[in-house]
Structure 1
Amino acid sequence: MASAESSPLMSFDHVKASVTEFARGFNHSYYQPLHLSILKGDWQSTKAFIDNDPTALTTKITILGRTALHVAAVSAQWHLIEKLLQHMPPNVLAELDFMGCTCLHYVAMGESINAAKALMAKNPSLTQVTDFKGFTPLIYSITSTRCKEMVWYLVLNTTDDRPGCPFSGPSASQLVALLTAAGFHDITMYLVQHYPNLATISDSNGSIILNVLSKLPSHFQSGHKFGFWKRFIYHCVPVEHEYLPPNHSNSGNTIWNALQNLVPSIKLLRDTKLKHVSAVRLVEFVSSQASTKNDNQFWQSFVSADIIFSATSSGIVEILRICFQFFPDLVWTHMPNEGYVAQIAIKNRQEKVFSLLCKMPIICKLLVLALDESQNTTSHLAARFASQVESISGASFQLQRELQWFKEVEKLDHPLHKEVKNQDGKTAWQVFKEEHKALLEEGKNWMKDTSNSCMLVATLIATIAFAAAITVPGGNNQDKGIPIFLSDNTFMVFAVSDALALFSSMASLLMFLAILNARFAEEDFVMELPKRLIIGMACMFFGVVSTMVAFGAALSMLLKERLKWAPIPIALLACVPIALFSKLQLPLFIQMIISTYGSRFSHIL
């Protein structure tokens, strides 16, 4: 039997040899009924077999050298584990199967805290037992990110004692990497505060924690784009400042606890914010621990160029801000074939990173002036077509976004660089025009198709409004030609609404006609064409609303003598098409306004 205290590191060949040798004398047919009954969770059949042969409780019943307890854990039969434990001696719980695992190793990968507690109650030293690779059950628990409570339980019940030494031994780097990748940053913070050596664990790629985090933009606030309400709740929801397990944490925020139980999305936002806050504090703690070391060579390799490159290209501005704060010289990091931080940010459209650099004016100007290996200026890099354009409706607004980014970077570049040619003999503007030729054509077609569609709607509104003005509800007085309902207040509502519908629809037609007659040059997509489209759509939307008001007023005049309550359902029904039009077109309209008049790149300067 494999000993818990002396489980040697074994290769796959050794494991295979052990299985082969054991299989020669193993009576498979005898133990098969017990094996199958455990897999099915049939306690009655399991108990009957064990009562008939008590040795089956502690012997290996599978070719892989697993006991009944192992089999119950692998098959996630948690209730059987608790029942089997009542009849098992404590030392059997520490036995390893031929895969090198105890029962707790398998239980750690599941979600049953009760099974883990039952095993620990029987044998408290199980958390220190290692498999053939030197891994404790704690590392196995992190392979399943679904049960954070299991990880917390094992963290609190695992010490840094031999033989595992999970927090200082060879497996410590694996532990830190897995915890960080799983997003359990609050648990990682708890561990690095108790075992500071974990914060500065590094390999050939630099800091393990920073290296993993630099590839996970979704673990930071900068990597999330919330809607208005989610963003509001995100900023309001509190998170704990102490890194403790759920049952040990401060439960003072009873209101939010009640709200998140009623609204699951609030709990999701709270967990997301906890992950983001913990990730930032983890980076701060790791950087502060590294900066306390006086070895200059250490921290230069600790925050490697790969980490800075990954954080920059992914737009994780939090990592960069903290690293530049503790290690200012990292801002001069240069990656072969990629350039400096500013150039990497420009190529990957990471405006937040570029904005961070712009807060260091002198450094930013020096970085912007640098040329890459192909003699490209920063304007040349900004002129390239982005492989990942932010999702926005319409090719014309994608082109607008590209132009806005190019213009903002060009403002920071040296004026002489406008005429500088790269290795291919092209200026930055020539590169932009060539790279965006296809997008320009798509934008032109999109703008024309949209204008034609809107013109059809505007023409229909104008036609209806003009016809309604000639044939007013109720007709005219035969002697004077004055409308019969002229003295009615509802008629005045009809007349004004109808006039507004006609005027706004005509204005809309003129704006869309101006778009169709435009020259469609690249510069026109920045302001001129979007402005015309915004005005045209606003007038058309106003025309739709005015038309529905005029129709409702006309119908109310005709029916109110017979049905006094008629205006109420008419008004409600008139709101339906307006609401549908708003739901379908208003998001695009607001998006166009923000993109045109509230450029997100304006903060760079």
Structure 2
Amino acid sequence: MEEKNLAEAVIGDQSLTSSNYENWKVYMQNFLSNLNLWDIVNGNESEPDAADHKYNTWFMKNEMALNAIKTSCGPEMSPHLQGITSSKQAWDQLASLQSPASSSAEEKGVSKEIQHGDDEDRPDALPETEDSFSGEPEYIRFRPFYKALIKGDWETAKETIEDDPGALTAKITHAGETALHVAVLSTKLSTVKELLSLLPPEALEAKSTPGNPAISFAASLGITEIAKLMVEKNNGVLRIINQHGRIPLVVAVLNGKEDMVRYLYSVTPEEELDPDTSKNGATFLTGAITAEMYDIALDALELYPNLAVSEDLFGKTAIAELARKSSAFPSGSRFGLWQKWLYSSCVQSGFYEELITDIANSFPRISTPRIRSPKGISGEISTDVESPHRVRSPKRSGSRNISEEIIFMSKFSRSPSGSRFGSWMQHLYSSCLCVVPGVKDIQKRKIKHAQVLVLLKVVCSAIGLLTVEELKDGKVDDAIHLTATNGNIEVFMELLDANPSLVYATSSSKRTLYHQAVMSRQVNIFNFISSMGQRDSRAIALDESQNNLLHFAGVLPSPSQLDKISGAALQMQRELQWFQEVEKIVQSKFKEFVNKDGITPAQLFTKEHKALKKDGEAWMKETANACMLVSALIATVMFAAAFTVPGGNVENTGTPFFLKTTAFTIFIVSDAISLFASCTSILMFFAILTARYAEQDFLKSLPKKLIIGLASLFISIAAMMAAFGATLVIVLQNRVTWVSIPVTLLATVPVALFGFLQFPLFIDIVRSTYGTGIFTCKKLI
């Protein structure tokens, strides 16, 4: 959260009374909108699940909005909001008090929502007795103090403390927050410094009514300077848990605050991450993986290898998080040609894999998954490069820096036979690192990939020691199904390498990995399973709905998978290719096999792809119409140009004056080629418009016509520009002889532009229709 000038956010004189609700409502709505809190209050941004990484952000925004609403209420209205923990609930409560229907509730000073609310959903609710809602709440008298802290007005706040020393540790908000909580939430570093100079160390451990210490707020907001001040004052705050049982380090990593995480990790006692005493260590590990802080995750695994197979506070494991992050691995990264070359040039491929394996093998192993490994185990590998982000605390001085080990060890240092070419490439790469845009980004990505691959190997080595029961308890079966769904081939291969029996893992609906790969259209997973042998036996499995493998090929995949292919027609073609490929694998009897719904695979395919087929037809016709218009214009111009030759004709014979010149030959040949090519293009696009658009037409017939049409159109445009250039040369050759060069260059512009815009589509169609196919084992990046 960015630091805001909350002085403008204080309500001032617009306190809510029983008579100014409408004015207050407008004022508050504008106020909350300016702070990006209105979506929380009106319900547009609903409360996420506690396991969701967005929950902490929502919680903090809800607290700020609720504080603002309650602070703006005058003494007359404040009692109606006691016990409310939701800003939306508070807003609705105040609105209901303005209607006649709520009069009975007003008499008691509490709405029906509060009277009949669920106490378990409101852990910070005060006792709901009549007395608890009568009179002025204690925190109301601290409103000026609260406003001064929010504004960062230390002089006013100091006067309050001098007049009432108890204000330092008193609960000054509806949620039972102290002055330190409020100062941290306001992100005013100077105010926090002044408060810490007055507070005793034990006061830093005070919690709000829900159970949140001030350092949890600092960790959530990522204000490292404030956290440092608090830890220096009392390092015991590092062990304090919030209302969800999370230590500050875990709060920071769940909110993705990298600088805060690196600081807190360097000072948090190691035993706080022990999986035998709490789930904070496992939650920290999964959070670090989610936030892509792989070097810290590796360091935590070196401290406690058991974390690799431990469940976190949300029931998740490290391998499940890795399975979800397909984009974190090389196979999930998309590179252009230039980026691919840079990526492969960072380190030689063989050396890269060897280095990753060596580092992973040097990590301590768990002898038994349920027994904590001894402390102090640490392997060291000498390094040459300092990493700016590595945690180097005294207690972890023996821990390795994976970034340093992978930096890529003199980069091109292991070129073949120490050749001069390798040395030259090393100098070239070092120079590019400084001046060429994108090179540093590519190197950082390769470092990240190396770190996550080491992490994967370490986690999978622990999984390899698990028994069948422990695999089930650790939800490893679910994790490998997740890899098949996401196409995370690196995790998939490592899991099978660690425990080959996982290839037989089935989901709760009895779906196999083969089923999952086909249904999710994951080519790499499909090819890998097919290459393992026993392909026919794997293809006969049925799920609980009696769907065979071909049924899953007939199911329409998710939009995210379809969107990887450009154009609805090519998407339909790819779906037909999948169906045909799976059809080759299954036994003949399964081609007409009906599931529980009495549907065959072919019928299911037709039903699922009805809308896509319609979209493909529309896409084909729109493309054909646009291209045919261009082809028709070219044909018209070229036909007319053939009878209006440049330079004119001899009057008696009708022979062109420049018939024997090279330029005229180029003109007439180019004109003829352009005319014939454009006519061919028109015929092809007309054939597309009049096609019957059956399912099988999308496989070969329609793409072939589109290829011929686009190729002919491209040739006709190129030939037309050549004819135009030749015409100018003929007309101007005796006057401006140098004009042929710039004219030729200018003539290439439309051709190049057309190629730039349409060639990628053309290449995709050709590759998809006549290429080697997608169902072959491919090398990863």
The two structures have a TM-score, normalised by structure 2, of 0.66
- C-alpha spacing 1:25/1:399, structure 2 compared with 1 (3 Å): closer
- Counterparts of 1:381 and 1:97 in 2: how far apart (Å)? 52
**1:592: Cα distance to partner?**
1.0
Cα pair 1:173 1:201 within 8 Å, conserved? yes
- Which residue does 1:316 correspond to in 2? 488
- Which residue does 1:552 correspond to in 2? 725
Unpaired segments ≥5 residues, structure 2: 1-118, 361-386, 392-400, 412-427
For 1:109, what is the secondary structure of its paired residue?
helix
- Counterparts of 2:206 and 2:435 in 1: how far apart (Å)? 45
- C-alpha spacing 1:382/1:63, structure 2 compared with 1 (3 Å): closer
**1:194: Cα distance to partner?**
1.0
**1:471: Cα distance to partner?**
0.9
- C-alpha spacing 1:376/1:76, structure 2 compared with 1 (3 Å): same
Select 1:359's aligned residue among 510, 527, 531: 531
Select 1:155's aligned residue among 236, 256, 265: 265
Aligned pair 1:328/2:524, yes or no? no
Structure 2 counterparts to residues 395-544 of structure 1, below 5 A: 395-422=568-595, 427-486=600-659, 488-515=661-688, 520-544=693-717
- Which residue does 1:344 correspond to in 2? 516
Select 1:379's aligned residue among 535, 542, 550: 550
Aligned pair 1:283/2:456, yes or no? yes
Aligned pair 1:578/2:751, yes or no? yes
- Counterparts of 2:570 and 2:248 in 1: how far apart (Å)? 53
Cα pair 2:319 2:476 within 8 Å, conserved? no
Higher RCO (CA-CA < 8 Å; seq separation 6+): 1
> What is the letter of the counterpart of residue 574 of structure 1?
A
- Counterparts of 1:24 and 1:135 in 2: how far apart (Å)? 36
- C-alpha spacing 1:57/1:18, structure 2 compared with 1 (3 Å): farther
Deviates more, 1:457-466 or 1:37-46: 37-46
- Which residue does 1:109 correspond to in 2? 220
Residue deviations 1:526-562, cap 9 Å, x none? 2233122112211111111221222233234434555
Cα pair 1:159 1:165 within 8 Å, conserved? no
- Counterparts of 1:173 and 1:328 in 2: how far apart (Å)? 25
> What is the letter of the counterpart of residue 234 of structure 2?
N
- Which residue does 2:774 correspond to in 1? 601
Cα pair 2:527 2:775 within 8 Å, conserved? no
**1:214: Cα distance to partner?**
3.5
Residue deviations 1:446-470, cap 9 Å, x none? 4344334433322221221122122
Residue deviations 1:352-387, cap 9 Å, x none? 21111012112x321112234454432233233334
| Aligned residue pair count | 592
- Which residue does 2:233 correspond to in 1? 122
> What is the letter of the counterpart of residue 151 of structure 1?
V
Structure 2 counterparts to residues 6-21 of structure 1, below 5 A: 15-17=124-126
**1:322: Cα distance to partner?**
1.7
Cα pair 1:167 1:195 within 8 Å, conserved? no
**1:282: Cα distance to partner?**
2.9
- C-alpha spacing 1:26/1:380, structure 2 compared with 1 (3 Å): closer
Deviates more, 1:112-121 or 1:255-264: 255-264
- Counterparts of 1:420 and 1:98 in 2: how far apart (Å)? 62
Residue deviations 1:460-495, cap 9 Å, x none? 212211221221112122244332334554434333
- Counterparts of 1:26 and 1:435 in 2: how far apart (Å)? 61
**1:511: Cα distance to partner?**
3.3
Aligned pair 1:68/2:179, yes or no? yes
Deviates more, 1:319-328 or 1:444-453: 444-453
**1:401: Cα distance to partner?**
0.7
Percent identity, aligned pairs only, is: 36
- Counterparts of 1:307 and 1:207 in 2: how far apart (Å)? 10
- Counterparts of 1:378 and 1:505 in 2: how far apart (Å)? 45
Residue deviations 1:260-283, cap 9 Å, x none? 898886666656555554444333
Aligned pair 1:208/2:317, yes or no? yes
- Counterparts of 1:550 and 1:507 in 2: how far apart (Å)? 18
- C-alpha spacing 1:318/1:337, structure 2 compared with 1 (3 Å): same
Residue deviations 1:238-289, cap 9 Å, x none? 7997898715556767998997898886666656555554444333322212
Select 2:389's aligned residue among 243, 246, 256: 246
- Counterparts of 1:331 and 1:465 in 2: how far apart (Å)? 63
Aligned pair 1:306/2:478, yes or no? yes
- Counterparts of 1:28 and 1:338 in 2: how far apart (Å)? 58
- Counterparts of 2:181 and 2:614 in 1: how far apart (Å)? 65
- C-alpha spacing 1:261/1:49, structure 2 compared with 1 (3 Å): farther
- Which residue does 2:296 correspond to in 1? 187
- C-alpha spacing 1:484/1:442, structure 2 compared with 1 (3 Å): same
> What is the letter of the counterpart of residue 309 of structure 2?
T
Residue deviations 1:110-166, cap 9 Å, x none? 233222223223333331233455432112212321x2121121112111447x968
Deviates more, 1:317-326 or 1:571-580: 571-580
Select 2:765's aligned residue among 592, 597, 605: 592
Deviates more, 1:440-449 or 1:520-529: 440-449
- C-alpha spacing 1:90/1:488, structure 2 compared with 1 (3 Å): farther
Cα pair 2:283 2:313 within 8 Å, conserved? no
Deviates more, 1:542-551 or 1:248-257: 248-257
Cα pair 1:408 1:601 within 8 Å, conserved? no
For 1:202, what is the secondary structure of its paired residue?
coil
- Counterparts of 1:552 and 1:408 in 2: how far apart (Å)? 49
- Counterparts of 1:398 and 1:544 in 2: how far apart (Å)? 28
- C-alpha spacing 1:170/1:300, structure 2 compared with 1 (3 Å): closer
- Counterparts of 2:276 and 2:433 in 1: how far apart (Å)? 34
**1:201: Cα distance to partner?**
0.9
**1:39: Cα distance to partner?**
1.0
- Counterparts of 1:593 and 1:526 in 2: how far apart (Å)? 12
For 1:379, what is the secondary structure of its paired residue?
helix
Cα pair 1:382 1:405 within 8 Å, conserved? yes
- C-alpha spacing 1:21/1:74, structure 2 compared with 1 (3 Å): farther
Deviates more, 1:250-259 or 1:44-53: 250-259
- Counterparts of 2:637 and 2:572 in 1: how far apart (Å)? 36
Give the CA RMSD over aligned residues.
4.0
- Counterparts of 1:476 and 1:27 in 2: how far apart (Å)? 106
Cα pair 1:43 1:80 within 8 Å, conserved? yes
- C-alpha spacing 1:558/1:326, structure 2 compared with 1 (3 Å): same
- C-alpha spacing 1:94/1:336, structure 2 compared with 1 (3 Å): closer
Cα pair 1:369 1:414 within 8 Å, conserved? yes
- C-alpha spacing 1:438/1:31, structure 2 compared with 1 (3 Å): closer
Cα pair 2:628 2:685 within 8 Å, conserved? yes
- Which residue does 1:390 correspond to in 2? 562
- C-alpha spacing 1:563/1:69, structure 2 compared with 1 (3 Å): farther
- Which residue does 1:178 correspond to in 2? 287
> What is the letter of the counterpart of residue 159 of structure 1?
P
**1:58: Cα distance to partner?**
5.2
- Which residue does 1:85 correspond to in 2? 196
Unpaired segments ≥5 residues, structure 1: 1-9
- Counterparts of 1:24 and 1:237 in 2: how far apart (Å)? 71
